[in-house]
Amino acid sequence: MNEEKDYAEQWDVSAKFFYEQGYYSWMAQQVEKMETVVEIGCGTGYSTLALIENGHKVIAIEKNHNCIVKAKQLLIDNEITDDKVIFIEGDIAEDSFRGKIARNYEFDAVLCWNIGSYWNKEMIEYYLPYMFQYGLTRWEIAQNPESSYAELILWETCSLAQARRVAVHIVDRGTEKLNEQNDPYYKMLKDEFGYKKIEYVNHSALSISKGGRMLSTKGVVNREEVLDIILVSILMR
């Protein structure tokens, strides 16, 4: 099994758990007045399904072909019609790809929920130029490549939203609640991209690690079967 396929299989287990617990529905409710959304990293489709069930039309972007195959089949199994979703295979980190999305599609918000990816030497080497351009140092990347990748993708998510002057919605997961008093990072994104308002909603949740996609907190892999986490909705507009 190659690493892309392995990631898709593992994330499918974790995402199904999120869907069945109602967490994706909760995320979708945070953007319920935004009719058409771009979803950065749709994974295997459970978040996409929740968005459609909440009344949204979705432009679903995913760089992992195996994830897209699973996502399409999931929507077919749930009798979702083609007019509700467009799947696009591509990498939001690439300027040309991001530019095509901004020019060719109309949308009301850009979403990025629970960023993740598999990692190997080739992946790190591929993203190094993008991470350097973003402003990370080689030492910072080496310390935590997953966190570095997440920062890059969040930045490019905001870049796409800014290009169309629409809202951006991020869902992060961690062990602590976030608000304007203890969050320097998302407030920095708000100011950098010229948003006037940032809204936080915290939600206590569970996540499976063992048996699904292993989760890491601050670079440390969690091997427990079920973890207590905090999902944080960050809406900037």
Confidence of residue 218 (pLDDT cuts 50, 70, 90): very low
Confidence of residue 119 (pLDDT cuts 50, 70, 90): low
CB-based contact 114:169 (threshold 8 Å): no
Q: pLDDT value at position 23?
A: 97
- Over residues 40-66, the pLDDT tens digits come to 999 999 999 999 999 999 999 999 999
Q: pLDDT value at position 209?
A: 61
Range 162-180 average pLDDT = 95
Structure tokens at 214: 């292993």
Give dist(CA 64, CA 21) in Å, integer. 25
Range 161-182 average pLDDT = 95
- Over residues 86-110, the pLDDT tens digits come to 999 999 999 999 999 999 999 999 9
Tell me how crowded residue 95 is: count the other CB atoms within 10 A of its CB: 12
Per the structure, the complete domain to which residue 143 belongs is given by 3-236
CATH number at residue 193: 3.40.50.150
**How far, in Å, are 77, 83, 112, 211 from residue 172 at the CA level?**
28, 29, 9, 21
User: Residue 152's closest CA among 126, 179, 121?
Assistant: 126
Range 24-50 average pLDDT = 97
Structure tokens at 54: 């909440």
Whether the predicted pLDDT of 129 surpasses 60: yes
Q: pLDDT value at position 220?
A: 46
- In degrees to the nearest 10, what's the CA dihedral of 7, 97, 57, 108? 120
Range 127-143 average pLDDT = 79
Range 164-181 average pLDDT = 95
Lowest-pLDDT choice from 77-86, 104-113, 221-230: 221-230
CB-based contact 87:114 (threshold 8 Å): no
Whether the predicted pLDDT of 136 surpasses 60: yes
Confidence of residue 172 (pLDDT cuts 50, 70, 90): very high
Give dist(CA 94, CA 92) in Å, integer. 5
Please enumerate in sequence order all residues whose Cβ is within 8 A of that of 137, keeping only pairs 6 or more positions apart, or say none: none
Give dist(CA 151, CA 145) in Å, integer. 10
Please enumerate in sequence order all residues whose Cβ is within 8 A of that of 99, keeping only pairs 6 or more positions apart, or say none: 163
- Domain tally for the chain? 1
Structure tokens at 154: 């969040």
Instruction: Give me the percent of the chain exceeding a pLDDT of 90.
Output: 69
Bridge partners (DSSP) of residue 231 are: 173, 203
Range 152-171 average pLDDT = 95
Range 114-128 average pLDDT = 74
Predicted structure pTM score = 0.89
Whether the predicted pLDDT of 193 surpasses 60: yes
Of 159 and 218, more confident: 159
In what helix (H) or strand (E) does residue 113 lie, and over which residues does it extend? Answer: strand 109-113
* DSSP string covering 119-174: --HHHHHHHHHHHHHHT--HHHHHH-HHHHHHHHHHHHHHHHHHHHT-EEEEEEEE
User: Residue 123's closest CA among 92, 145, 155?
Assistant: 145
Whether the predicted pLDDT of 5 surpasses 60: yes
Bridge partners (DSSP) of residue 173 are: 231
Q: pLDDT value at position 219?
A: 47
**How far, in Å, are 52, 69, 76, 235 from residue 32 at the CA level?**
10, 27, 23, 12
Instruction: Give me the percent of the chain exceeding a pLDDT of 70.
Output: 90
